[in-house]
Amino acid sequence: MTNMTLSIPEELHKKMKKFSEIRWSEIARTAIEQRIDDLEVMNRIASKSKLTKKDVEEISKKIKRAAAVRFNELSDRY
């Protein structure tokens, strides 16, 4: 098995030390495996897509606009 060095913020390290019974390397390994699985699924879906980059950018703009409108509506209530 290959070793990997991981840098983490000192504050996170202090919190991790409170749970010394946890095998943090296993947590990291599992998280990496899950992210790779997610990326592979996205790649399979994207490889079958007929959308162009322009289509994706237009959809993205519409989603962002709609999210901004929704956020403003909600923030006006409070």
| Model pLDDT for residues 48-58, shown as the tens digit of each residue | 888 898 999 99
Contact 13, 35 (CB under 8 A): no
How far is the C-alpha of 68 from the C-alpha of 53, rounded, in Å?
22
Write the pLDDT tens digit of every residue in 24-52: 999 999 999 999 999 999 999 988 888 89
